[in-house]
Structure 1
Amino acid sequence: MSDKSIQQAFSWKVISDQKIVKQIDKSAMLYKTTGIPVEIRWFFTLEQLSPGKKENVTLLYEGNHYDAFFSMGVQESPRSRLVWRSDFSSIIQSRFQNLYRSWKHDNEDPEGSGYIVFKRKSAILYEVFFDTIINDK
């Protein structure tokens, strides 16, 4: 299913065909992963990823490359996820220290918010930025 008219799904907001924003949540902050809603899989070109398979990608932040991968679950209605390593997770935690401390200490309602902006360079390369607001440009 690829409906590019979908502009928002859960904690994701499509800005353009090349840019999408993810509001950081507890799983992104603490567990190095985030779910990709079926409605926006098209942005990451995941329509052809088979259940149980992975696709390696690179996240580019401030000129540095970070290894990550997309995975597709094996359930009847499979879930897709983006998973990154500890080196990239440390950047998120450092950039949003208040959120990190709150969630690390089981505060389910932290103050403030943070966003990861993904700018697609290719199907396997995404430039990443961080912000505290959603910039629709």
Structure 2
Amino acid sequence: MKRLGKFYSWEAYSDNIAIKKCDKSVFVSSGTAVPIGIRWFFGVDALNLGEKVNIELLYENKKYKARISKESIKTARTRLFWMADLSKKFHSIYHYGMNYPSLKFKKLSSMLYEIEMIDLEKVNYDGNGNFRSEIYDKEGKKKLIYTTKYERNKKNREKAIVLHGTKCMICGFDFEEKYGEYGKDFIEVHHIKPLSNMKNEEVINPETDLVCVCPNCHRMIHRKRDSVLSIEELKKIIKNNSVK
């Protein structure tokens, strides 16, 4: 019999929408129980003991094989099983102690169901088969971080600017030219040899060890922590990607 509402960890919202509230087993096993009250959703009300119905689950635009079957005489439970490839997908997003999302099933046909992981606390059901986001992810939580900070000498920075000027030595960007008086004298100073690579304090020569660069080029130099670009490498990248 077709009924809407909650049935253990499942809830039927409409003829074509049902949601399974997940627990650890969904992420570390290959299936989940289908209670009596939700069997109609999968069209298996009259499933006989030992009988199997093959279906497909559409997850992230890819189809996965699955089946629904009734187990032994002892339990007579109906269960939904999915294949190992989908199990690996689910297992990859499982983290111990996580707040488990819910698994939304949308019936596309009697043999095909689109599935999606959703957070029921962050969506509202509009009554027409759609779950709409009402809560946005938060930012701004304070977090205490311990790190190592390498001290820079202000005098070396000033000398580098006197020697090299305030035009980016990689791309040629000039802040005064672009922003007028507001951008005058603005530039960043980059250590050719990263301070983090120094085992001890070293004498820095502003003429040979420092370069003046714009923030864009500076960020690109340090974009990958394990592969800091040289000035010439970044110049080459810019040259190779310039519009001709």
Output the TM-score relative to the length of structure 1.
0.81
Which has more helix, going by share of residues? 2
Alignment-derived partner of residue 82 in structure 1:
80
- 2:72 maps to amino acid: V
Q: Kindly report which structure 2 residues correspond to 1:74-113, keeping only aligned pairs within 5 A, or say none.
A: 74-75=72-73, 78-94=76-92, 97=93, 100-102=94-96, 110-113=97-100
Counterpart residue type for residue 131 of structure 1: I
Pairing 1:132–2:119 present = yes
1:105-132 CA-to-partner distances (Å, cap 9, x unmatched) read: xxxxx34121111000111110111112
What 5-or-longer segments of structure 2 have no aligned partner?
Answer: 131-244
Letter in 1 for 2:71: G
Quote how far apart the aligned CAs of 1:76 are.
Answer: 6.0
Summarize the alignment of residues 43-62 of structure 1 with structure 2, pairs less than 5 Å apart: 43-62=41-60
Deviation at 1:3, TM superposition (A): 4.2
Inter-partner Cα distance in structure 1 for 2:57 and 2:113 = 5
Amino acid aligned to 2:95: R
Secondary structure, counterpart of 2:68 in structure 1: strand
Q: After the TM superposition, which parts of structure 1 deviate over 3 Å for at least 4 consecutive aligned residues?
A: none
Q: Does residue 119 in structure 1 map to residue 106 in structure 2?
A: yes
- Asked if the contact 2:24–2:100 (Cα under 8 Å) also holds between the matched residues in 1, the reply is no
Give the CA RMSD over aligned residues: 1.7
Change (3 A) 1:39 1:75: same
Task: Answer yes or no: is the 8 Å Cα contact 2:52–2:68 preserved in 1.
Answer: yes
Q: What amino acid maps onto 2:23 in structure 1?
A: D
Q: C-alpha distance in 2, partners of 1:16/1:23? A: 16
Q: Given that residues 56 and 64 in structure 2 are in contact (C-alpha distance below 8 angstroms), is that contact kept between their aligned partners in structure 1?
A: yes
- Partner of 2:44: helix, strand, or coil? coil
Query: Matches of 1:120 and 1:126 in 2, distance apart?
Result: 5
Distance in 1, matches of 2:110 and 2:25, equals 23
**Closer, same or farther: CA 76–3 of 1 in aligned 2, 3 Å:** farther
TM-score normalised to structure 2 length? 0.47
Larger radius of gyration: 2
Distance 2:87 2:21 in 1: 15
Q: Runs of 5+ in structure 1 lacking a partner?
A: 103-109
1-side partners of 2:110 and 2:7: how far apart? Answer: 20
Deviation at 1:90, TM superposition (A): 2.0
Q: Secondary structure at the match of 1:123?
A: coil
